Copies of this chain bind each other. A is one copy, B any other.
Amino acid sequence: MNLLPAQDLRDLGVELFQACGAPAAEAALVADHLVEASLMGIDSHGVVRYVMYVEHCLDGTIQPGAAARVVDGRGQVAVVDCGMNFGQVGAQHMTDLVREDARAGGIAFAVSLRCHHVGRLGAWPQKLAEAGLFGLSVANSHRHGHFVVPWGGREGRLATNPLAWAAPTGGDPLLLDMSTSMVPEGRIRTALHAGERLPEGRILSGDGRPTVDPADFYGPGEGPPAGAILPFGGDLGYRGFGLGLLVEVLGATIAGEPLAEPDDGRYINGFGILAIDPAALSGSGDRFRELTGELRDYVRGSAPAPGFDEVLMPGECEFRTLRERRREGIPLPGESRRLIAEVAEQVGVRVPW
């Protein structure tokens, strides 16, 4: 597979989103975000999303240029109406807001209404960590994505509800970005197309049986999947279920948002973000960075387990991939190129391949 330079993919994204009516700065923000996800190896949330985003601009789901506005909240908490602009525009607005509010008052939280797809969830606390703050974010999804069963249940009631947190160190931030389910739906689809089986304990078939066959998850028809995804944790899956509910509460319920009906178009992600300024607690952000660095060195100092070469901190693998792909380029499978070229043609943009 030929590798594409990040800059070419970034330029393409900017052109595509501008062709959809996005102001230049917003087009750049969204393209930068998706290219960075691809650089970090999180391809499911990378430039392949150009396709869905352009389609949603064309069908009116995304409203390029719509302003994000604080519509409720007082003190250090806010409800932000993201106006169904690109989710990254709303999430960036909310991240800036909680960063400044946390600098002023030590801590701040914001939760979205009418937010489209926020992309790579870890990007947002990462931005806070790059500014010296602690950050935590969550994202739920509208009911159309409720593939994940509650612990002890066989019918989907939550989305894969990821959570992410980040903290600054002297070097790369600590950055965890995880689903509260055993597997994101995108990975099941990839396995289906590749004719592969999933590891045990990930999914249920339409009749509630454990299975490793992606086809059992999707079922025979064209409609929504017949099966379900298990909550994170295996035989301790009540914990993943409880974390999934935490995401639901902080990403949607606390905004006063009732459970969405399937496909009512009110939002794609319910997004919540928390910032804490360590300098407000112990007098100095440098002190926090120093201590997280000590923690990292202590933890990495553990001898590796059999089968491992070293202990990696959360996010370390992604930051290594980022540096490698910046040098060498981003792999983009033929099918992704074809789909991107298709939507590019619809908006009159030429692809660089």
Q: Which residues of A contact B (CB under 8 A)?
A: 72-79, 104-109, 111, 134, 136, 149-158, 165, 167, 174, 176, 178, 182, 199, 201, 204, 208-209, 232-236, 238-239, 241-243, 245-246, 248-250, 253-259, 274, 276-278, 280-283, 287-288, 291-292, 294-295, 298-306, 308, 310-314
Contact = CB atoms under 8 A, between A and B. Distances in A.
Given A150-B311, A153-B308, A298-B157, A232 B235 contact: no
Contact of A239 (B134, B232, B241): B232
Q: Which of A72, A199, A248, A256 has the most CB of B within 10 A?
A: A256
Contacts of A277: 77
Contact of A304 (B74, B79, B152, B209): B152
Contacts of A259: 291, 294-295, 298
A152 B243 contact: no
Contacts of A245: 174, 176, 295, 299, 313-314
Contacts of A305: 149, 152-154, 204, 208
Given A107-B76, A255-B281, A249 B295 contact: yes
A81 B37 CA distance: 41
Contacts of A282: 72, 79, 254-256
A281 B248 CA distance: 16
Q: Which of A72, A254, A288 has the most CB of B within 10 A?
A: A254
A182 B303 contact: no
Contacts of A209: 306
A74 B277 CA distance: 10
A242 to B, nearest CB: 3
B299 A157 contact: yes
A74 B249 contact: no
A249 B167 CA distance: 8
14 contacts: A74-B106, A77-B281, A78-B281, A79-B282, A134-B250, A152-B308, A165-B242, A165-B246, A165-B249, A199-B235, A204-B305, A208-B303, A209-B306, A258-B291
Given A258-B294, A294-B258, A176 B304 contact: no
